[in-house]
Chains A and B, each alone.
Chain A
Amino acid sequence: MATAAILTSSHVLELAHPLPLDGGQSLAGVRISYETYGELNADKSNAILICHALTGDQHVASPHPITGKPGWWLRMVGPGKPIDTDRFFVICANVLGSCMGSTGPASAAADGQPYAMRFPVITIRDMVRGHVALLDALGIVTLHAVVGGSMGGMQALSLAANWPQRSRAVLVIASTARHSAQNIAFHEVGRQAIMADPKWQGGDYYRTGKGPEAGLAVARMAAHITYLSEEGMHEKFGRRLQNRTAKTFGFDADFQIESYLRHQGLSFTDRFDANSYLYITRAMDYFDLAEEHGGRLAAAFAGSSARFCLVSFDTDWLYPTAESRTIAHALNAAGAPVSFVELSAPFGHDSFLLDVPALDRVIGGFLGQ
């Protein structure tokens, strides 16, 4: 691990023009919060855009302002790391609809009140429209690469398909070209948990101070299960009891896994807005790259001259290997230079965030070209 400090800076871009949305509306006064690491070179050719996942944020390699935890991909981004900030200018922007400084349902609308459910339903492509506006503002015509895991991978694919000239390389990790029925089903469980919480109040909870924390926590608990592998969960928790020697014959968190999930759910509510969770999960559910391009995934990449790399993990059952292979075959059919590899890692979907040395080599090698 390199110890040198990263040249980090935080910014907010206010878009001068309304952002057109896939839903037909347009959104005025959009703010995009982003961080940059490293330095942009003179011909602006060394920029890498990192796209974050559902509950991620722009703090890819800097401490989270609320939790104080290290950046979510600190192991990958920094001086001498696979995404080398000595060499590349790394940009990470909070997505449209989120709650870490970019415009979302908690932001004030024109009347000064939070949008809440008046916020338009957005898509992955709308998020990427925001990223493209940011690149325009930074004067970056073509990225060295766009990189993303999970929902970040969807954004990377969307950028490659809809703005094919904006990136020379596209790296998609543990992602998919469309949300499956199972993916949508898990998200719907989460949304219903939030909306069933009386404190949700039709989304208008901002004035009352406290939001639907119980519902949001349940949503996070359900989702968290999908990020782990069964084997990993069994190894970490098994049927072990939490700080007790016998079952209590009650509904307290007897098992370690229950205690762990409750903690994950509760701590999530400290840093995430429930309405943002509704809007972003909806955007993911609406994602179907082939549908956007006449039903043929290969057609989505017809205009692309970028290099692609797709990585999946053998224990990821949220976006299993077959999803990445489908994308690889479509890119092949489109004649694009594409690499695809399924890596072995025990951590399920979350493997892309964790210690998988082979992933470091693949990312470093692919981006280093």
Chain B
Amino acid sequence: MNGLRPDLAVIAANIVPGSRVLDIGCGDGALMAALRDARAVDARGMELDSHNVAECVARGLSVIQGDADVDLEFYTDGGFDYAILSQTLQTTKRPDLVLDELLRVGRKAFVSFPNFAHWRVRASLLWHGRMPVTRLLPVAWYETPNIHHVTVRDFRELVSAKGLTVEGSWFLSGDHGISDAAANWRAEHAVFLLSR
């Protein structure tokens, strides 16, 4: 699991070996490859970018080029033990509907996202009055794929409103853990494990 992005390492460490996993927005397949090699996971992926899909196929992974907003409907109910959406929720058109789809195709869902309430983001807005460009949000507002910025608190409220169960949550600054209480200020990344 070495070399994985911190949020992916958290996800990888908390998946039961031998399970069936759908990684939505799987990028170049780093998490899938790690799960396959270290945890004997049957991993499938979905990815929008054709270069990334080609990279995944070249690594021997099963990845379908598709869009989380549209193509999840072609997956059967409960076909996977876990559906994973890492750093992708904030790029979807309807994050709330995507969450529903995650917990339809997967019995459980891992969701990770950059926390827009991190103090650097707040500081940027407060002191400069500008949309933040930070280490984790490195792209200017006009070209970022992140169209639905979300905070830890926002996400908790959405999960609660939908009546979903939080089975686990992890908050990260770099690769350091942050406590639940301080998460909305200090976490750069949040990872949630959800079930219905």
**Residues in chain A within 8 A of chain B (CB atoms):** 307, 309, 325, 328-329, 332-333, 335, 337-344, 358, 361-362, 364-366, 368-369
**Residues in chain B within 8 A of chain A (CB atoms):** 42, 44, 50-51, 53-66, 71, 74-76, 79
Instruction: List residues of chain B with CB within 8 A of the CB of A369.
Output: 60
- In the bound complex, CA of A171 to CA of B182 (Å): 50
Given A341-B54, A342-B50, A358-B51, does the pair A365, B74 have CB atoms closer than 8 Å?
A: no
Would you list the 5 A-B pairs with minimal beta carbon distance, nearest first? A365-B58, A369-B60, A341-B53, A329-B74, A337-B62
Given A332-B74, A333-B74, does the pair A361, B54 have CB atoms closer than 8 Å?
A: yes
Q: Which of A328, A339, A340, A365 has most chain B Cβ within 10 Å?
A: A339
**Nearest CB on B from A300, distance (A):** 16
- In the bound complex, CA of A358 to CA of B65 (Å): 14
Q: Which residue of A lies closest to B75 (CB)?
A: A332
- In the bound complex, CA of A274 to CA of B7 (Å): 61
What is the interface of chain B mostly: helix, strand, loop, or mixed? mixed
- In the bound complex, CA of A368 to CA of B61 (Å): 12
A337 adjacent to B65 (CB under 8 Å): no
**Nearest CB on A from B28, distance (A):** 12
**Cross-chain contact of A362 among B54, B71, B76, B79 (Cβ < 8 A):** B54
Known: A332-B64, A362-B57. 20 other contacts (CB 8 A): A309-B57, A332-B44, A332-B74, A333-B76, A335-B79, A337-B44, A339-B64, A340-B63, A341-B50, A341-B65, A358-B50, A358-B51, A358-B54, A361-B54, A361-B57, A362-B58, A364-B58, A365-B58, A366-B58, A368-B60
- In the bound complex, CA of A343 to CA of B57 (Å): 12
- In the bound complex, CA of A328 to CA of B66 (Å): 10
**Nearest CB on B from A368, distance (A):** 7
Instruction: List residues of chain A with CB within 8 A of the CB of B60.
Output: 365-366, 368-369
- In the bound complex, CA of A340 to CA of B71 (Å): 12
